[in-house]
Amino acid sequence: MRRAEPGPLRDYLHTPFPDRSTLCREVEIVALDLETTGLEIKTDSILSVGLVCLSHFRIRLSSAWYQVVNVDHEIPESSAVIHEITDDQAAAGEPIEQVLPELLERLAGKVMLAHFARVEQSFLDAACRRLYGAPFLIPTIDSLLLAQRLFELRNHSLQVGDLRLFNLRPRFNLPRYKAHNALSDALCTAELFLALADEIAPSGRGRLKDFLTG
């Protein structure tokens, strides 16, 4: 594995991650969502970043952070219809070279929570490799995989689309929000995780390793 050159990624990696045996409720968790121009890592770009932190299984709304990212190419119409970020809005955003260091600082020493975390992992890894020449690493909780595990343990049948973030929320009596805004999706993911955690490990008894992906 290539070592990060001096800079934001190396500083980020120098902050130790939580021990896997720690009670999950005692770990700082960052619920993160990225909106992108598409799902192809080589050709698509991060359009916006939204996050909110959880401490002791409580959402800290004061930690909420949202940033539109400048992209140097036209946003596909099919993508803009979904996330409602126009070319003009993206042009006024901050470049990824400025956004990524702040994001890494907010994630340092914490656990990342995302729904279908493969998207966040892949795009952040690609950005770190391009800008800093080394991979993005972080312990990760995927609320989609947690929901899948819970339903399989209960022998619940799953239909196509059942594990989508906004299709899962009614199952746990969570309110409906407008989809495909990075900040509101991060908040939705945080709320869903807390509902899942209460089902998987009641009274906050679960260890971090019980929730991590891989």
Summarised one tens digit per residue, pLDDT across range 161-188 is 999 999 999 999 999 888 889 999 999 9
Whether residue 209 lies inside any domain: the answer is no
Whether residue 189 lies inside any domain: the answer is yes
207/81: higher pLDDT: 207
Whether residue 214 lies inside any domain: the answer is no
62 contact partners, CB below 8 Å, separation of at least 6: none
Q: What does the block give as tokens for 102? A: 């702040």
117/81: higher pLDDT: 117
Q: Where are the beta strands (DSSP E) in 41-94?
A: 46-55, 58-68
Q: How far is CA 94 from the centre of its chain?
A: 19
- How many angstroms separate the CA atoms of 15 and 169, rounded? 34
Averaged pLDDT of the chain: 92
- In tens, the pLDDT along 3-31 reads 778 899 999 999 999 999 999 999 999 99
Q: How far is CA 58 from the centre of its chain?
A: 17
Beta bridge partners of 142: 114
Q: How far is CA 18 from the centre of its chain?
A: 17
pTM of the model: 0.95
Q: Please tell me the total count of domains within the chain.
A: 1
Give whole-number Cα distances, 203 to 24, 64, 141, 192, 194, in Å.
11, 26, 19, 16, 11
102 contact partners, CB below 8 Å, separation of at least 6: 67
Write down the pLDDT at residue 125: 98
**Amino acid letter for position 211:** F
The CATH number that applies at residue 141 is 3.30.420.10
Write down the pLDDT at residue 207: 97
Whether residue 206 lies inside any domain: the answer is no
Whether residue 207 lies inside any domain: the answer is no
Whether residue 112 lies inside any domain: the answer is yes
Contact yes or no for 42/130 (Cβ under 8 A):
no
Contact yes or no for 31/190 (Cβ under 8 A):
yes
- How many angstroms separate the CA atoms of 49 and 186, rounded? 9
Whether residue 40 lies inside any domain: the answer is yes
Task: Give residue 1's pLDDT band: very low, low, confident or very high (50, 70, 90).
Answer: very low
Whether residue 108 lies inside any domain: the answer is yes
Structural domain harbouring 157: 8-14+23-200
